[in-house]
Amino acid sequence: MRVVVEKRDTRSKRMAILIPLVSFIVSLMLGAIVLIASKSNPLQAYGAMLNGAFGNARRFQYTIVESLPLLMCGLGVGIAFRLKFWNIGAEGQYVWGAIGITWVMQFWRFLPVPMLLPVGLAVGMTLGALWAGVPGFLKAQWSVDETLTTLMLNYVAIGLAEYLYINKWKAPLGNMGTPEFPREAWLPQIWGKVHAGIFIALALVVLLWFLLYKTRWGFELNMIGKNPKAARYQGVSIKRNIVLAMILSGAICGLSGSVNTAAIAHRLTKGVNAGYGFTGIIIAWMSGLNPFASILVAVVMAALTTGADALQIAMKLPESMGEVLQGLVLIPLLAGSIFVEHKLKFIKKEAA
């Protein structure tokens, strides 16, 4: 008997749903092996994680709050990914959003207080957009590789943020972080810990879905992503659209940074680069660039984080175990995507 990988004649919708599901189960089993090896009961551990992520209203709220920046960054990078533009700079764009809103809150005091929040969000969004527009422009104009530029720009943005909250914009008291935003300008909480950012995130999901699937621009992005040569021949400007898509992508990631800062830390401080932008890449990828699917993926990824915290407390497992389990989710899922297009075939060798 031998096993061969055969290309599927056609791609089926059912497989596209079934395969991620099976992959998820496989990753749970892999996780179980790791857990057993570190002498814990996997069922108990998963139970603790589930409980930690969704066990009561407060934990559930916390998971939702965690999922919002992931969702927004996922939506943001997803737009660039449609063009096969590998924007891995969401982290930096997110940080710029946080810097932008802090700048407004701290220095634009000529504004009436109720205006601080909307203007701050807009400025954060704009800075994120500009920061992303640069690698977009470099790629469009001189074909500068975007993976490199977007990645490097992350570190510039993070370095700048550190300089600001440790040094330049530091509050007089305390050793790190800018002064707290005026309380009236915080993004309000609407259900326990869940803040109004959830409306912004969900509105973005609907908006992007409409933009990508219903408009001429969405149609053009789809063409460019799937065959740039054909798109150009049909009169679609590739350069212009790369820049536009990157600007939109960065605007959303930037907005995500401003929203989160206005809702949670209420100032620029350590932890602003929490990795939402990087996890956003995974969200975009696993959701197949579908905005609605991103919601589900973002919640699952957030639950893995919040659940891992519980794991640490309830099971006395090291903190890194949570990260190990998160990693284990990804591998089978990415490997699984191969089987959307290919299948395994078992062939019985006949006696010759």
Ligand X SMILES: Nc1ncnc2c1ncn2[C@@H]1O[C@H](COP(=O)(O)OP(=O)(O)OP(=O)(O)O)[C@@H](O)[C@H]1O
> Residue 7, interface with ligand X (CB under 6 A)?
no
Place of tokens 């609907």: 206
Q: Which does 8 bind (CB under 5 to 8 A by kind): ligand X, other proteins, none?
A: none
Q: Which of 147, 173, 175, 177 is CA-nearest to residue 164? A: 177
Residues 301, 42: contact at Cβ < 8 Å? no
- Binding residues with ligand X: total (CB under 6 A): 2
Alpha-carbon distance of 79 to 293, in angstroms, equals 14
Distance CA 294, CA 230 (A): 29
Indicate which single residue of 10, 143, 167, 175 sits in contact with ligand X (rule: CB under 6 A).
10
Decide whether 189 or 237 has the Cβ nearer to other proteins. 237
Work out whether 9 is an interface residue with ligand X (CB under 6 A): yes
**Binding flag, residue 222, other proteins (CB under 8 A):** yes
172 binds, among other proteins, ligand X, none (CB under 5 to 8 A by kind): none
Q: How many CB atoms lie within 10 A of CB 352?
A: 3
Nearer to ligand X, 10 or 175 (CB): 10
Which 8-state DSSP code applies to residue 348? P
In angstroms, what CA-CA distances link 27 with 106, 262, 323?
46, 36, 13
Provide the minimum distance between the beta carbon of 16 and ligand X in the complex, in angstroms, as a whole number: 16
**Is residue 226 at the binding interface for other proteins, with CB under 8 A as the rule?**
yes
CA 208-213-214 angle, to 5 degrees, is 100
Q: Which stretch in 221-229, 269-277, 279-287, 306-314 sits in contact with other proteins by CB under 8 A?
A: 221-229
Q: Which is nearer to other proteins, 6 or 319 (CB)?
A: 6
Length of the chain (residues): 352
Residue closer to other proteins (CB basis): 14 or 183: 14
Distance CA 225, CA 232 (A): 11
Binding mask 2-41 for other proteins (x = CB under 8 A): --x-xx-xx-------------------------------
